[in-house]
Amino acid sequence: MPNPVQVAIPLLQHTGAPCEPLVKVKDEVTLGQKIGEGKGFITAPVHASVAGAVGMPSVTTLPNGRHVKTIPIKTGPNQLSADELKASLLGGDWPVSGLDAQSPEQIAQTAREAGLVGLGGAAFPTHVKLTRNEKRPVDTLLLNGCECEPYLTSDYRLMIEFPRPIVTGALLAARATGATQLVIAVEDNKPAAVESLRRAAEGTGVEVRVMETRYPMGGERQVIPAALDREVPTGGLPLDVGVVVMNVGTSAALAAAVLRGKTLTHRVVSVTGAGIAQPKNVLAPIGSSYKDLIDFCGGLKPDAARVIAGGPMMGFALNDLNITVTKGTSGITVLTHDDLKAVEETACVRCGRCVDVCPLNLVPTRLALASRYQDWDMARRYHLMACCECGCCAYVCPAAIPLVQLMRMGKAQLPKE
Amino acid sequence: MPSPAIHIAPAPHLFGGALTTQRMMFDVLLALVPVLVAALWQFRLYAVIQLAICMVSAVAAEALFTAMRKKPILVRDGSALVTGAILAFSLPAKAPWYAGAVGSFVAIGIGKVIFGGVGQNIFNPAMLGRAFAMIAFPAALGASAYVVPDSPIDGLTHATPLTALKMLGQSTGLLPLFLGATNGSIGETSALACLLGGAYLCLRRTASWEIPAGVIAATAVIGLLVQWFSPVAGWTVLHELCGGALLFGAFFIATDPVSSPLAPRGKFVFGLGVGALVMLIRKLSGYPEGVMFSVLIMNALVPLINRATIPTPVGGPVPAKKAA
């Protein structure tokens, strides 16, 4: 897409400590220049996604409701065209051998400098995952090519069009973590992606495994058991079972950072849903507004009813389109009135559908009941905090009970033990 | 271009909506069609009359009692129709009209609405209503009420298979039991019809297969033991399974979601309990059949079963926070 007139770079786009600005008002910055740096280990710097002049810092609201300090950059005259940008970030040839020129520490350090975070949505700083921990060795690197939500296809397009940087990034990440087994998990509704990745991975030792297509397969806790037959302990990390999980987009960004010195300035965003005129996957500068992307895709259709940051199951509905695309923005979903069904809640008949569909084997109806009546004993007994809020239970509930909202409320109110 | 109004709401934004409570109730009525066919074949007009009395009374009771509670009347969800139908199918063909009517009123009023309406009841409403009617009108609903010696309908002139077994030591052939050419409550005679309807319910997962599986497993195991240790000529474990209300109870009564456990493991345990109690009552008590009491007793145990069978989350329980 063409560069917007102005981008706004939030200083907190990741899980962890926010950044402090490194630039002043009216400074000229170049594409990819670091403009914010955070203190501590779990943080990631932010970079200019266009070349231009720094404006007055302000505060913006992210889709999750957090207010964050933001550095605006007015786009200057000299910019790479969209095609040039795509070619420089993802195109061309990517080596699959001779990658040992970089030491594991260097790879992790480069990931940090480039501001890499998980592009699947959680935006956890990548260098933290790539740094070796002697106490908890990693034997397997799992690239997650399962889309985290229905409607979203950004990973899918990337796997079809640019499988080579994904594979190269995987090899680099494996070198950083010391993993000896490399697996890419892709859902079985994406045969083209499987085909494309298999071709790119030939002879590299990277194995493509095909998963059942079943939401929420993109979640770590679902994809690890499905692909590797290991179960991550509740409250634990994949690291506890010797696994590092990385989104395929993150992997491609890692390759671009290590081999081409590119910082994380752009990402692929799915602009999708029946309420958008021309749904597309867009390589968008971080800091663009949702409105920029929606306009680029032909705007909203007249029957658009809800604009969602992320996918339809876990995304946040927006009331303002002047909101910023961050590193964690995997998609913008626009639903129509037809998609949204306003159904009146009725009584639970304890049919147990929610128990059947819960990917974590919980009893949502009990958790919702406990949350509604603040019965914290019951909430603990039924493992409230294990809930991942994927929304499967509320999707199937014959009584249309707002199970997820209730459980979310309960999780927020549950007194600490 | 004027931008369309967008509204906000918390996730998830999509709702399946393929299954509603109403649809589940409709499923049950649909699954009862084979049972109805078998009942019409065996009991003719009696089946129609009994069904009409119970279903109409149940809906009337629902409307009356919810109005008394000043709650919106939810007859639309169809749950009263299901309760009425199940009750009718569990009564003898010649049961007097007031037995069905009183049973229905008790089923809906004391069995359901008094607890707070649909979804809140502890006991299976139809069975509660039947138990009340049976104790209130023992002569009209007891084992003897099934037999009408001068009836033009052949089936009605014999004792029910289980009574015949208990009182006279007579066995009934497996084929009549399976097809339903015997005397009994209106809906229980044909094992085949119950299996057909039950299979549909389980495939739709309106009924959880774990419950009938548990009932049948427990009955089969105990039936085998009984057959081994105190055999009766011509009566096997298969007769035990096809006779009486066992299959009707396993598929249509015990599977009432409201009064059965939530998690799959709990459902199976519940089914096992029902099956075991049925065999206990059949073999060691004065009653020839015990589905109704078994279901009611197990209903009372559901909270305990639920508590004992809380599923373990994937990845184990939430770890206790370390003291900071």
Q: Does B264 touch chain A (CB under 8 A)?
A: yes
pLDDT value, residue B10: 80
Q: How far is B317 from chain A (nearest CA, A)?
A: 6
Q: Which of A80, A108, A142 is the last residue of a domain?
A: A80
Judge contact between A35 and A46, C-beta under 8 A.
yes
Phi and psi at residue A258, to the nearest 5°: -75, -45
Q: Does A205 touch chain B (CB under 8 A)?
A: no
Judge contact between A248 and A273, C-beta under 8 A.
no
Q: Are residues A28 and A116 in the same domain?
A: no
Q: Are residues A112 and A256 in the same domain?
A: yes
Residue at B138 is within a domain: yes
Range of the domain at B68: 21-307
Q: Are residues A365 and A407 in the same domain?
A: yes
What CATH number is associated with residue B74?
A: 1.10.3430
Rounded to an integer, what distance in angstroms lies between the CA atom of residue B201 and that of residue A328?
44
Which DSSP string do the residues of A237-267 spell out, in sequence order? -GGGGTEEEEEHHHHHHHHHHHHH---S-EE
Judge contact between B43 and A352, C-beta under 8 A.
no
pLDDT value, residue B74: 64
E-strand ranges in A48-165 read 52-54, 58-61, 67-75, 140-144
Q: What percent helix, strand, coil does chain B show, rounded to 5?
A: 60, 0, 35
Residue at A254 is within a domain: yes
Q: Does A64 touch chain B (CB under 8 A)?
A: no
Q: Are residues A163 and A236 in the same domain?
A: yes
Q: How far is B16 from chain A (nearest CA, A)?
A: 5
Q: Are residues A94 and A167 in the same domain?
A: yes
Q: Does A380 touch chain B (CB under 8 A)?
A: yes
CB contact under 8 A, A307 and B6: yes
Instruction: Tell me the per-residue pLDDT of B219-260, one tens digit each, with 9 for 90 and over.
Output: 999 999 999 998 888 889 999 999 889 999 999 999 999 999
Range of the domain at A402: 353-413
Residues of B whose CB is below 8 A from A408: 10
Q: Are residues A254 and A401 in the same domain?
A: no
Q: Which of A22, A49, A80 is the last residue of a domain?
A: A80
Residue at A322 is within a domain: no
Q: Does B121 touch chain A (CB under 8 A)?
A: no
Packing angle of the helix pair B45-68, B79-89 (nearest 10 deg): 140
Residue at A307 is within a domain: no
CB contact under 8 A, A349 and B119: yes
What is the predicted ipTM? 0.84
Q: Does A348 touch chain B (CB under 8 A)?
A: yes
- Which residues, in sequence order, are CB contacts of A177 under 8 Å at separation 6+? A104, A129, A130, A132, A138, A141, A244
Confidence of residue B4 (pLDDT cuts 50, 70, 90): low
- Chosen from A231, A234, A393 to mutate, greatest number of chain B CBs within 10 A: A234
With tokens 């520490």, the residue in question is A105
Q: How many domains does chain A have?
A: 3
- Chosen from B8, B13, B69, B310 to mutate, greatest number of chain A CBs within 10 A: B13
Residue at B7 is within a domain: no
Which of B3, B263, B315 lies at the smallest CB-CB distance from A233? B315
Rounded to an integer, what distance in angstroms lies between the CA atom of residue A132 and that of residue A139?
11
Residues of A whose CB is below 8 A from B324: none
Q: Which of A208, A240, A260 is the last residue of a domain?
A: A260
| A267, two tokens | 């990402």
Residue at B195 is within a domain: yes
In a structure prediction context, what are the per-residue pLDDT tens digits for chain A, which is 417 residues long?
778 888 999 998 888 888 999 998 888 999 999 999 988 888 999 999 999 999 999 988 888 778 899 999 999 887 888 888 888 899 888 888 888 888 999 999 999 999 999 888 778 889 998 888 888 889 999 999 888 888 999 999 999 999 999 999 999 999 999 899 999 999 999 999 999 999 998 888 899 999 988 888 888 888 998 889 888 888 888 888 999 999 999 999 999 999 999 999 999 999 999 999 999 999 999 999 999 999 999 999 988 889 999 889 988 888 888 889 999 898 999 999 888 877 788 889 898 899 999 999 999 999 999 999 999 999 999 999 999 899 999 999 999 999 999 999 999 998 876
